[in-house]
Amino acid sequence: MENWAVVVAGPPSNQLLLLNPSRNSAVIKLLPTPPPLLTHRTFLSPLPLKLQKQTPFASCCSCNGNGNALRVASPSSNVTTELADIDWDNLGFGFMSTDYMYIMKCSQGENFSKGELQRFGNIELSPSAGILNYGQGLFEGLKAYRKHDGNILLFRPEENALRLRMGAERMCMPSPTVEQFLEAVKVTVVANERWIPPPGKGSLYIRPLLMGSGAVLGVAPAPEYTFLIYVSPVGNYFKEGLAPINLIVETEMHRATRGGTGGVKTIGNYAAVLKAQSAAKAKGYSDVLYLDSVHKRYLEEVSSCNVFLVKGNVISTPAIKGTILPGITRKSIIDVALSQGFQVEERSVTVDELLDADEVFCTGTAVVVSPVGSITFLGKRVTYGIDGIGRVSQQLYSALTSLQMGLTEDKMDWIVELK
């Protein structure tokens, strides 16, 4: 278990101090200007330190260019955090600027090496950057939760690291190692600890980005790449919360095609759904459910989440065949359902089966589990249950969120504790 803390080396200061008492080490990072958010209120209490001789530190953070490090003389249990001034009871799913972001760069054909925390802010890109001209980019999404005892929890972050590497190979990009990804996430979360909602009030959404940042004119992989992480406190993705959402089946536009990039989390997948999604929301629907582009009768996924249907004791979900994103929440729900005695089938699922299901729900990092109250297909509306929240949906939602928030024992070994 990693123990990270962040302090300011005492007012006024332009130094960010990263502490890892479990490693008995720390790093001072010089900031370009004194951080106003940290000088106007106490972020974390400083710990007594003593300077030691030059000692290499983890590659995820640079010290100040000379390799000097510090050793910690006291444990992280002395560290206290004051939360950001937010209306936590009315937190929606929207972007909110926080304190720090993480950036790491490398050139084409090379490996990522060192990264660093920077004050959150705009980044500079060439107008000819690969990400802007040819969409050479991927992103991930995961969450950090705060427990009542002050611990910070991450849910299966190594799965995000592995999925990013898989997507990077498809998009001809270098990628951070799993270890670099995990270390970068941990450092970024701890640096923004005051933005993690109180227990039960939401989570800290973590957004890693991998993009071709180098300038390129012809269609080709970019010469330089940037790995970036920023975070934002969030509440429910759908305004309904754990209330039923209403979906419409799209029959003309498609999210992905065979041989394309539907199976990786590339940025273009999401731009492609905006037109159908906007039209659906204008008609009062929550989102769109897409069909396969060949037969136009097999379920694929919703704009940003996977779909499941329940019939008796059998839970079915479309199989991963290159056009559907291999969701980490999807994978987790399958394992949880199996552990609870359900039969789970990953296969081709027709829209007719969907309309005949006992209940339907969606899964994703943002939504976790979202019950479906109705499906509209070719003008026909089918509703599920009395209130739209099926027994299985509720049961799986409770099981997974209790695990993510540290309320139940982690028998799956999915949780990473930061402190």
Full DSSP string of 247-306: EEEESS--S--TTSSTTTTBTHHHHTTHHHHHHHHHTT-SEEEEE-TTTS-BEEEETTBE
What average pLDDT score do residues 148-157 get?
A: 96
pLDDT, tens digit, for every residue of 305-340?
999 999 999 999 999 999 999 999 999 999 999 999
Q: How many CA atoms lie within 13 A of 67 on its CB side?
A: 4
The pLDDT of residue 22? 47
Distance CA 330, CA 4 (A): 30
Phi, psi at 375, each rounded to 5°? -125, 130
88-234 belongs to CATH 3.30.470.10: yes
Residue 1's pLDDT band (cuts 50, 70, 90):
low
Of 3-12, 41-50, 256-265, the range with the highest mean pLDDT is 256-265
pLDDT, tens digit, for every residue of 258-314?
999 999 999 999 999 999 999 999 999 999 999 999 999 999 999 999 999 999 999
The pLDDT of residue 162? 98
pLDDT, tens digit, for every residue of 74-122?
234 344 568 999 999 999 999 999 999 999 999 999 999 999 999 999 9
The pLDDT of residue 23? 46
Q: What is the percent of the chain where pLDDT is above 90?
A: 76
CB burial readout 52-72, b (16+ within 10 A) else e? eeeeebbbbbbbeeeeebbbb
What average pLDDT score do residues 124-151 get?
A: 97
Distance CA 376, CA 381 (A): 4
- Least confident range from 8-12, 163-167, 205-209: namely 8-12
Beta bridge partners of 268: none
Assign 173 to helix, strand or coil. coil
Distance CA 120, CA 114 (A): 18
The pLDDT of residue 399? 96
The overall average pLDDT reported for the chain is 84
- Least confident range from 48-52, 90-94, 205-209, 412-416: namely 48-52
The pLDDT of residue 161? 98
The pLDDT of residue 241? 62
Distance CA 329, CA 374 (A): 22
Residue 236's pLDDT band (cuts 50, 70, 90):
confident
Of 355, 364, 359, the closest CA to residue 299 belongs to 355
CATH classification for the domain delimited by 245-404, as one of 2.40.50.140, 3.20.10.10, 3.40.50.300, 3.40.109.10: 3.20.10.10
Residues recognised as catalytic: 265
Distance CA 144, CA 98 (A): 14
Angle between helix 328-339 and helix 157-170 axes, rounded to 10 deg: 130
Instruction: List the chain domain ranges.
Output: 5-78, 88-234, 245-404
The pLDDT of residue 294? 95
The pLDDT of residue 237? 79
Residue 69's pLDDT band (cuts 50, 70, 90):
very low
Q: What is the largest CA-CA distance in the chain?
A: 73
The pLDDT of residue 26? 44
pTM of the full structure: 0.83
CB 77 within 8 A of CB 64: no
Distance set, CA 151 to CA 26, 38, 57 (Å): 20, 22, 24
pLDDT, tens digit, for every residue of 359-409?
999 999 999 999 999 999 999 999 998 777 899 999 999 999 999 999 999
